Structure 1
Amino acid sequence: MFIARLAGIAVFDPVGDQVGRVRDVVVSLRLGRRMPRVLGLVVEVSPRRPVFLPITRVTVIEPDAVVFDGRLNIRRFRQHESETLVLAEMLDRTVRLRTDGDRVTVVDVAMEPTRTRDWVVAKVAVRPPRPARPRGLRRRGESRVVDWDEVEGFSIVEYGQGAAGLLAAFERMKAADLANVVHELPEKRRGEVAAALDDERLADVLEELPEDDRVEILGKLEVERAADVLEAMGPDDATDLLRDLPAEQRENLLLLMEPHEAAPLRRLLTYEDDTAGGLMTTDPVVLAPDTTVAEALANIRNPDLNPALAAQVYVCRPPVETPTGRYLGTVHFQRLLREPPPTLVSGIADTELEPLRPRERLQDVAMYLATYNLVAGPVVDEDGHLLGAVTIDDVLDNLLPANWRETVMEASALEGADPEEEALRRAADDERTGPTEDP
């Protein structure tokens, strides 16, 4: 069973209820050429909590499902020093073939059951590094599968390790879930994963990470790339990240950004972070009065649009860009669905709803959205120009405790250790280092 193929597949109890998804496989490397022993699976259960499922409790492993015996300790998984995570740490490593000394990159590893019903890592899928070396491989860049004892180098700390294989295993994962995976990685691997992600994907992940992780990752990027990633983030999230940086670093990044990308961030930085101006995004859906309902619906169908922003459009006199357009009203998407496609948005805009002012405090913004049952609201200055929109997700982000993301990622329902789990992992430690005698 190639382990990268297990990433993200559903985990079920004996009655068929899904309890989570596979995020990684835990193995214990052993001395010499002995095949690593598989200790268990890291399973992510709600809410985004990784837990350890011993391999002894797994009853079925199929291409689209893992079934276990129903016993699962939901104490948060903590990696022991003697343990290795296959997807997080073994994929993309550079190792050496014992037969000819060639250096190759690990694409995947495969585990298989033994006669004693244990599981071990028996095979390694490798490919030549780029540029490829032709000796011993049939074609440039072609991968092949070798036995575990044919490779060496897994126990050596590697700097500059790639992350393509890890990211391929989780390519369909939502940004919030990938952020949880990144948060759990060692600091070294976090930097390597950030380097491998494209700017858009990294921007999405940074928006979901705790403050300390975001600052750490951004600080390890080349400064030009850090500016590019900030440009790819939503203006409100990019501004929040900039506020966490030292003033000199913040200004350097703003200077490296495209002027039209940096301008809205500079405006947002002028407001306190717990005001409507500090909470708002400068990229709501803004339309001219002569826009039709059909055109409005086409705009909010954009899959890259935040769902809260897609819930309404704002009608302004040209130019229809913040902060220059004069605000006329709001049209909610439910109203758009009820009107004939040729109808002009100016004729159905809600002009009675009083917009927010940029200096209004967080509590007032929350009460405004709750009072009118809104998921977003327009922010307008004293001269009637639309500055942006505040969305419910940003309000909740600021109403929750400052460390709520860490709390979700660090949540643990049980503090006690599971005896069977600890016995299995201690036995693996003994196999790797040799048993120790009691004093």
Structure 2
Amino acid sequence: MAATTRVFAARMAGLPVFGPDGEPIGRVRDVLAALSPRGRAPRVLGLVLEVAPRRRIFVPMLRVTRIDPTAVTLATGTVNLRRFHQRPNELLVLGQLLDAEVSVLDTGTRAVLVDIALEQTRSRDWQLHKVAVRERTGRLGRKGRTQVLDWDRVAAPAIAELESRPQGVRRLLAVFDTMRAVDVASALHELPVKRRREVAEGLGHDRLAEVVAELPVDDRTDLLAHLADDRAARVLESMDPDDAADLLAEMPEGDKERLLGLMAPEESAPVRRLLEYSADTAGGLMTPAPVVVTPDTTIAEALALARDRDVPIALASLVFVCRPPTATPTGRYLGCAHLQRLLREPPSTLVSGALDTDLASLPPDASLAAVSRYFAAYNLVCGPVLDDQEHLLGAITVDDLLDHLLPADWRESGLPDQERRDADEA
């Protein structure tokens, strides 16, 4: 099959990238182009790839040897793993151009950029050559005609204009819809602040809650402060209580209390309880919504609760057995049942027959170091937090622990930004 010499940018999003020997390198997250004088097609500089662990790097187009409908292949040589940093007069095609408003020059028609084609020239350079635009009709509920035009037939916005006027997000949201929340957060972090806020406005409450929980501290507090109060409160309600508490703890006291007051009482109550504890203690690390059942629950019923797709994998590894009530703080804690043990027992038997009553618990004031030693000693991914009257307050999962053990800027991990020199393209 001959290599493709024209490809639309939106179709490249998420494509796997391989080295010449077939080794996986990462996935395409955006296309970087250089802003050109009015009327001239911008030159494509390269691709922005996402590689493990959630690091975005730049690969010059001269390193790309093949673009197929299902993958991108790079030439031989080492891949520069320096963290991608956008320069002035550079455009992210997916992140900044899609859904931008343009004018068709010969007719004056207002339109929206819905996709942009990359085309390889005779000199083997790549340019933004064709644009797919949809006309604005001005009539509610009616879509305008879509057509593919040469770049020089549209008046595309300059960077300054992109930063000053609203831009649609429909196409970008379609790209993000196929990505995990953690990958969407990584993509948002790389966008300009204005564009990041526009995308946040377009996400639903539940999806935005998932993404905000994965953002670096500065990004998530900025987004929450940008949202209208009612919308911010709905997003907080959709977050896990421990994530919501972590986010609110980073905000000024007045803003925190205002948002808590706008949340539904049943949603704000567990968040308020978590905010009473220091962030570096077991109480501050725990989630108040583990899987809890009474001793007369059957193993089949307990497994059904653990299988709930809304229960994180680590949290589902233990089912806690308590006297009523089962909402935290619960009645007297009786023990826990390990998921593997439940899978080996007859489904019709009671969960009380599979209890581990010897597993130690953590007090809410246990330090971060004590929690770390506890997980290491008992080889757990989840553990109970009890008060001095043996009521279950919540559970700590290993991912919550790692969030606090890693450096504060771990979500922005990567090598320091450095200039991309012309030699990178050699």
- TM superposition score category, shorter chain reference: over 0.9
- Cα distance in structure 2, aligned partners of 1:299 and 1:30: 57
Question: Quick check: 1:103 aligned with 2:106?
Answer: no
Q: Which residues of 2 match residues 17-416 of structure 1 at below 5 A?
A: 17-71=23-77, 72-129=79-136, 131-132=138-139, 140-155=143-158, 156-157=161-162, 158-406=164-412, 408=413, 410-412=414-416, 415=418
User: Are 1:39 and 1:54, in contact at CA under 8 Å, matched by a contact in 2?
Assistant: yes
For residue 3 of structure 2, what is the aligned residue in structure 1? none
Deviations 1:307-345 (A, max 9, x none): 110111111122211113321110111111111111211
TM-score (norm 2): 0.93
Deviation at 1:290, TM superposition (A): 1.7
Three-state SS of the structure 2 residue aligned to 1:208 is: coil
Corresponding letter in the other structure for 2:409: N
Give distance in 1, aligned partners of 2:296 and 2:361: 21
**Counterpart code for 2:120:** P
Q: Deviations over 1:233-289 (max 9, x none)?
A: 111111011110000000000000000000001111111111111111011111121
Structure-2 change in CA distance of 1:130 and 1:274 (3 Å): farther
Task: Give the SS at the match of 1:315.
Answer: strand
CA contact (8 A) 2:132 2:148 kept: yes
Summarize deviations over 1:149-190 as a string: whole Å, max 9, x none: 221132133422122211211322111111111111111111
Contact kept, 8 Å, 2:336 with 2:356, in 1: the verdict is yes
RMSD: 1.9
Q: Distance in 2 between matches of 1:332 and 1:130?
A: 60
Query: What letter corresponds to residue 149 of structure 1 in structure 2?
Result: D
4+ runs deviating over 6 angstroms: none
| 2:4 equivalent in structure 1 | none
Deviations 1:343-369 (A, max 9, x none): 211111111223211111111111112
**1: CA distance, partners of 2:50 / 2:306:** 32
Question: Match of 2:280, SS?
Answer: coil
Whether contact under 8 Å (2:286, 2:397) holds in the other structure is: yes
1:47: how far off? 1.9
| 1:66, distance to aligned residue in structure 2 (A) | 0.4
Query: Do the aligned residues in 1 keep the contact of 2:248 with 2:256 (CA within 8 Å)?
Result: yes
Deviation at 1:51, TM superposition (A): 1.5
Q: 2:20 aligns with which of 4, 14, 20?
A: 14
Give the match's secondary structure for 2:99.
Answer: coil
1:404 shift after superposition: 2.3
Give a deviation string over 1:282-310, Cα, whole Å, max 9, x none. 11111121221112222111222211101
Distance 1:267 1:387 in 2: 10
Aligned-pair identity (%): 54
Is the CA contact 1:7–1:170 (under 8 Å) kept in the aligned structure 2? no
Please report how far the alpha carbon of residue 129 of structure 1 lies from its aligned counterpart in structure 2 after TM superposition: 4.1
Distance 2:101 2:265 in 1: 41
Identify unmatched segments of 5+ residues in structure 1. Answer: 424-439
**So what's the TM-score if we normalise by structure 1?**
0.90
Contact 1:22 1:42 in 2 (8 A): yes
Q: Secondary structure at the match of 1:202?
A: helix
Give the Cα separation in 1 of the matches to 2:118 and 2:347: 57
Please tell me whether the aligned partners of residues 8 and 170 of structure 1 are also in contact (alpha carbons under 8 angstroms): no
- CA-to-aligned-CA distance 1:59-106 (integer Å, 9 cap, x gap): 110011000102322222221212111000001111112232222121
1:166 maps to amino acid:
L
297-306 vs 80-89, greater mean Cα deviation: 297-306
- Residue 299 of structure 1 aligns with an amino acid whose one-letter code is L
Distance 2:353 2:327 in 1: 20
- Give a deviation string over 1:109-140, Cα, whole Å, max 9, x none: 11111222221112111223474489xxxx73
CA distance in 2, matches of 1:149, 1:305: 52
**8 Å CA contact 1:92, 1:165 repeated in 2:** yes
Residue 182 of structure 1 aligns with an amino acid whose one-letter code is L
Over 3 Å counting, the alpha-carbon distance change for 1:421 and 1:130 in structure 2 is farther
Q: Which moved more, 1:376-385 or 1:330-339?
A: 376-385
Instruction: Describe the shift of the 1:199–1:133 C-alpha distance in structure 2 as closer, same or farther (beyond 3 A).
Output: closer
Instruction: Tell me if structure 1 keeps the 8 A contact 2:60–2:425.
Output: no
Give the counterpart letter for 1:151 in structure 2: V
* CA distance in structure 1 between the aligned counterparts of 2:55 and 2:251, rounded to whole angstroms: 29
Distance 1:258 1:130 in 2: 41
Q: Which residue of 2 aligns with 1:434?
A: none
Question: Take 2:188 and 2:308, find their aligned partners in 1: how far apart are those partners?
Answer: 27
1:31 CA displacement: 1.6
What is the alpha-carbon distance in structure 2 between the residues aligned to residue 111 and residue 402 of structure 1? 39
Amino acid at match of 1:105: V
Residues 146 and 419 from structure 1, CA distance in 2 versus in 1: closer, same or farther, beyond 3 angstroms?
A: closer
Query: What is the SS of the residue equivalent to 1:160?
Result: coil
State the one-letter code of the partner of 2:252.
P
Q: 1:101 to 1:132 in 2, by over 3 A?
A: farther
Give, as a single letter, the amino acid of the residue that structure 2 aligns with 1:31.
Answer: P
Q: How many residues align?
A: 416
